[in-house]
Structure formats: structure tokens, C-alpha cells
Amino acid sequence: KFAAWWFHFGLKSYDMVYSDDWTKHGNRLHHIAFAPDTREDILKAADIFLENSIHIESGPHKHAINQTFFLYVWEPGGNRIEFANAGARLLLDPDQPVVEWSEEERKKGQAWGMKTIESFHTHGTPVV
């Protein structure tokens, strides 16, 4: 079963995610997210990462569930970072309830109905 918790810090749908670790190393940090102002900023970031040999794990794509335009990369220490345009999920209410998606909703895939990449369920902050 996939389990994830989205925390509301700031003005976007989430900034930090922990999820069930299929490798059974314990619950490691899944990723930290940043919210560039535009989709074009994410496209520019993808070019910069490619030019600097930063591993692009997935994207740029649009999430099937929350509709944010995103890019996932692994920074040199192995941590996953997401860049997601907040325009699709701008939250102004500090009391906005936490969103939890069902397994059925998750079956829509990570982006535009594409199958979620395997590393999304197995890669987390490296075990030290």
C-alpha cells in the first residue's frame, strides 16, 4: 500500500513528503519541494540541471492528480528535490485540510496517466 502525507507549509500544496519505503529501510525523506513562479522556470531549471550533470529523475511533466507542473531531480547528495509550479494549487487558507489521495486516485499515475516510475517508491534520502 502506498502511503504519503502532504504537509501544508507556505503557499503550495506541499513542501515535504515522507512515504512508505518499499526497500524497508524505514521511513526516509521522500523529497523536498520548491515552488518556482512559472512553468517556464521549471523548463529552464531542467536545462540547467542537464548542463551540470544533475540527475533528472522525472519530468518536466504535469501531475495527474494535483495538476502541478513538476520536475524531480536528485541533488549530488542523493536527496530528491521537486520543483513544482504552485499556480495549480495555490493555497491561501492556513487552515486548509491536509490532502490524502486514495490508492485508486494514485493509480492515475504520476503524470498525464503515465505509470509512476519505480524509483519513486524505492529512492529516498540515502541511508547513512
More reliable by pLDDT, 116 or 14: 116
Q: Which domains does the chain have, with CATH numbers?
A: 4-122 (3.10.180.10)
Structure confidence at residue 51 as a pLDDT band (50, 70, 90):
very high
Residue recorded with cell 495538476:
67
Structure confidence at residue 91 as a pLDDT band (50, 70, 90):
low
- Are the beta carbons of 71 and 59 closer than 8 angstroms? yes
pLDDT tens for residues 23-44?
A: 776 667 778 888 888 889 899 9
- Which cell is 33 given? 519541494
- Which cell is 62 given? 504535469
Burial (0-12, 13-18, 19+ Cβ within 10 Å), 14: buried
